[in-house]
Amino acid sequence: MPVLDVLGIREILPHRYPMLLVDRIEEMDAQHIVGIKNVTANEPFFLGHFPHYPVMPGVLILESMAQVAGVLILKDIPDSKNRPVLLASIKEAKFRKQVVPGDQLRIEMNVLKRRSNVAVMAGVAKVGDTIVAEAEVMCVLSDPVQS
């Protein structure tokens, strides 16, 4: 059983289709989280990103990693939908293998540093046992958004 399904994730993250890039959370504690992104052939980015050779853009793999990190940061924040977590920096990003339709990304993120409104997390994205991407991300909790 997942810790959070997509409906639970939508209660935490403000992202919606086509930018919600996390399908479920499988593990989560105070310092570690594991999320899943199912990569399907009907993803909108495949229409224009090498249409005859569909490859998931690296920047969207990083965005998936940041969203998984965001779930961990926002899970205990009241009114989290109105306090987006913004990506502040990316360090040591590496892409090791292409991600294609039919792959399932397993995203594992670990907290390196955390303060009241800033978190630095490092992680990997895997397909099976193969690391396809890795990075360290800094996320900042924004001020409340006025609706």
Picking from 22, 106, 11, 10, the residue whose alpha carbon sits closest to that of residue 64 is 22
Domain of residue 83, residue span: 6-141
What spatial distance separates the first Cα and last Cα of the chain, rounded to whole Å? 35
Determine contact, residues 133/110, Cβ cutoff 8 Å: no
Whether omega before 2 lies within 30 degrees of 0, making that bond cis, reads: no
Catalytic site includes residue 32: no
Residue 1 lies in a domain: no
CB neighbours of 123 closer than 8 A, spacing ≥ 6?
Answer: 65, 68, 69, 107, 108, 109, 110, 134, 135, 137
Which of 15, 32, 49, 52 is labelled catalytic?
Answer: 49
Side by side, the strands of the sheet bearing 32-38 are: 24-28, 32-38, 104-114, 118-127, 130-141, 85-95
Query: Any idea what the CATH number is for the domain that residue 60 is in?
Result: 3.10.129.10
Residue 117 lies in a domain: yes
Q: Is the pLDDT of residue 116 over 80?
A: yes
User: How far is C-alpha 11 from the geometric centre of its chain's CA atoms?
Assistant: 15
Identify which has the larger pLDDT, 147 or 87: 87
Residue 21 lies in a domain: yes
Whole-number percent of the chain with pLDDT over 90: 81
Determine contact, residues 37/57, Cβ cutoff 8 Å: no
pTM: 0.94
Phi and psi angles of residue 92, each rounded to the nearest 5 degrees, phi first: 55, 35
Residue 101 lies in a domain: yes
Domain count, the chain: 1
pLDDT tens, 9-66?
A: 999 998 999 999 999 999 999 999 999 999 999 999 998 888 899 999 999 999 999 9
